[in-house]
Amino acid sequence: MSELRVQEIHNPTVQTGGIEIDNNDVVSINGQALPTAGAFGNRNLIINGNMLIDQRNSGSSTTPSGDQTYVFDRWKVRNSNATGRFSVEQSGTSPNDIDPSMLLTVTTTDTPSGVEFYAIEQPIEGHNFARAAAGSANSEILTLTFFVRSSLTGTYCVSLRNSDASRSFVAEYTIDRVDTWEPQTIEVPAITTGTWNTTTGTGASVAFCLGSGPDREGSTGWQSANAVATSNQVDWINSNGATFFISGVQLEVGSVATPFERLSYSTQLALCQRYYLSIVAVEANSRIAIAGNGSINQCFPTFFAPTTMRAAPAIDFSAANDFQVEGIAGGGKATATSITINRATTESITVQVDTAGGTGASGGNLLSENNNVWFAFNAEL
């Protein structure tokens, strides 16, 4: 049986079935290139790049005030605790009539100064970024692709930085047309220097800049500095009502931009739940968990994570008095006064719920006292 050796084919050849191999040994099927490095599947280092999962806000608009506030799953707002603000919401304005997008809108303007900068950013876990082999002699070229649309044209910047921000790559891209989706492709050269986490910490962060002070500006390319933009960056944050849409973000090993890797909803949700797990009770008096009582004034429900979390999580919740404990066998109900972590691992979390009054029972149910209440377990980077 003859063997097809791709490396020996030096002229573009179109074969039956729409397969093309060009003189750089790039294989395309019906005009769509296949990866030249890494795996065919599981190649996107970005999670939730098509902005599909939004456990925190369920698509509703939010305007974060604090720096490094997570909005969509795996995406967080950067504002360096400066005074500018922009809202974030899931939008049906799509680059491909399939995927939603993230819509940012300036609500409070600012002219960034010093180290201030504004961005939407995703930190990539070291376990996932390890395949780039950054900082070693085997470091790989990366390719970043995405779709953007804005009410402000001009030069924008995107950066990739290591966890201690001692190495940063900055690239410029241009938005040419107002309120029009435009595809962008950026090649990130291999880097053989710097320290890059390859475990459960941050391996690298990708930030799409929306305005920066001079102390966060550098040159294009790799540099030994904490740079997120160049001096050409549009100060989008300084135009009230300005909009910025982004979707289809993909970062992959290799020099060829392949089609966006669209995962099933359940697969993408599971990837997000490694970092953040939300439990929502839409209606009042919904049973959330069965709990054992430590005394008549407290109970200890245990939750099991559907996927192994990145680290033992912290807890967040709508409000303590959104929950109540119901005693078994007619033990009565008592409203919660405090909720804390009793014991947490990457796979299970036991919560301590204290009440002002006892349920008079040795076990009980944790119930929602109000509509639309929630627990969340947070193991974000």
Q: Residue 22: what pLDDT?
A: 75
Distances (CA, A) of 320 to 70, 301, 377: 22, 14, 15
Residues 268 and 279 placed together within one structural domain of the fold: no
> Given strand 27-29, what is the order of strands in its sheet?
13-15, 19-21, 27-29, 32-33
Q: Residue 5: what pLDDT?
A: 36
CATH of residue 226's domain is 2.60.120.260
Q: Residue 26: what pLDDT?
A: 65
Residues 306 and 230 placed together within one structural domain of the fold: no
Q: How many CA atoms, within 13 angstroms, populate the side-chain half-sphere of residue 154?
A: 15
Residues 223 and 254 placed together within one structural domain of the fold: yes
Residue 48 lies in a domain: no
The b/e string for 137-151 (b: 16+ C-beta within 10 A; e otherwise) is eebbbbbbbbbbbbb
Residue 47 lies in a domain: no
Evaluate the CA torsion angle 332, 336, 337, 343 in order and state its sign. Answer: positive
Query: Is residue 368 a contact partner of residue 317, using CB atoms and an 8 Å limit?
Result: no
**pLDDT (tens place) for every residue of the chain, 381 residues total:** 333 333 333 444 555 556 677 776 666 666 767 676 555 679 999 999 999 999 999 999 999 999 999 999 999 999 999 999 999 999 999 999 999 999 999 999 999 999 999 999 999 999 999 999 999 999 999 999 999 999 999 999 999 999 999 999 999 999 999 999 999 999 999 999 999 999 999 999 999 999 999 999 999 999 999 999 999 999 999 999 999 999 999 999 999 999 999 999 999 999 999 999 999 999 999 989 888 766 778 889 999 999 999 999 999 999 999 999 887 655 678 899 999 999 999 999 999 999 887 765 556 788 999 999 999 999 999
Q: Residue 326: what pLDDT?
A: 84
Q: Residue 8: what pLDDT?
A: 36
Q: Residue 115: what pLDDT?
A: 98
Residues 198 and 281 placed together within one structural domain of the fold: no
Q: Residue 102: what pLDDT?
A: 98
Q: How far apart are CA 166 and CA 161, in angstroms?
A: 8
CA angle 362, 368, 373 (to 5 degrees): 140
Residue 29 lies in a domain: yes
Q: How far apart are CA 62 and CA 319, in angstroms?
A: 18
Residues 266 and 279 placed together within one structural domain of the fold: no
> 363 lies in which domain range?
275-378
SS (H, E, C) the chain: CCCCCHHHCCCCEEECCCEEECCCCCEEECCEECCCCCCCCCCCCCCCCCCCCCCCCCCCCECCCCCCEECCCCCEEECCCCCCEEEEEEECCCCCCCCCEEEEEEEECCCCCCCCEEEEEEEEEHHHHHHHCCCCCCCCCEEEEEEEEECCCEEEEEEEECCCCCCEEEEEEEECCCCCCEEEEEEECCCCCCCCCCCCCEEEEEEEEEEECHHHECCCEEECCCCCECCCCCCHHHCCCCEEEEEEEEEEECCCCCCCCCCCHHHHHHHHHCCEEEEEECCCCCEEEEEEEEECCEEEEEEECCCCCCCCCEEEECCHHHEEEEECCCCCEEEEEEEEEEEECCCEEEEEEEECCCCCCCEEEEEECCCCEEEEEECCC
Residues making up the chain, counted from first to last: 381
Q: Residue 6: what pLDDT?
A: 35
Residues 4 and 130 placed together within one structural domain of the fold: no
Query: Is residue 55 a contact partner of residue 30, using CB atoms and an 8 Å limit?
Result: no
Q: How many CA atoms, within 13 angstroms, populate the side-chain half-sphere of residue 281?
A: 22
Residues 249 and 137 placed together within one structural domain of the fold: yes
Tell me how many domains the chain contains: 3
Are β-strands 182-188 and 142-150 bridged in parallel, bridged antiparallel, or unpaired? antiparallel
Residue 49 lies in a domain: no
Residue 78 lies in a domain: yes
Residue 55 lies in a domain: no
Residues 319 and 363 placed together within one structural domain of the fold: yes
Residues 288 and 254 placed together within one structural domain of the fold: no
Residue 353 lies in a domain: yes
Q: Residue 11: what pLDDT?
A: 45
Residues 142 and 221 placed together within one structural domain of the fold: yes
Instruction: List the structure tokens of 340.
Output: 């804390």
> How many other CB atoms sit within 10 Å of the CB of residue 23?
10
Residues 195 and 144 placed together within one structural domain of the fold: yes
Residues 133 and 252 placed together within one structural domain of the fold: yes
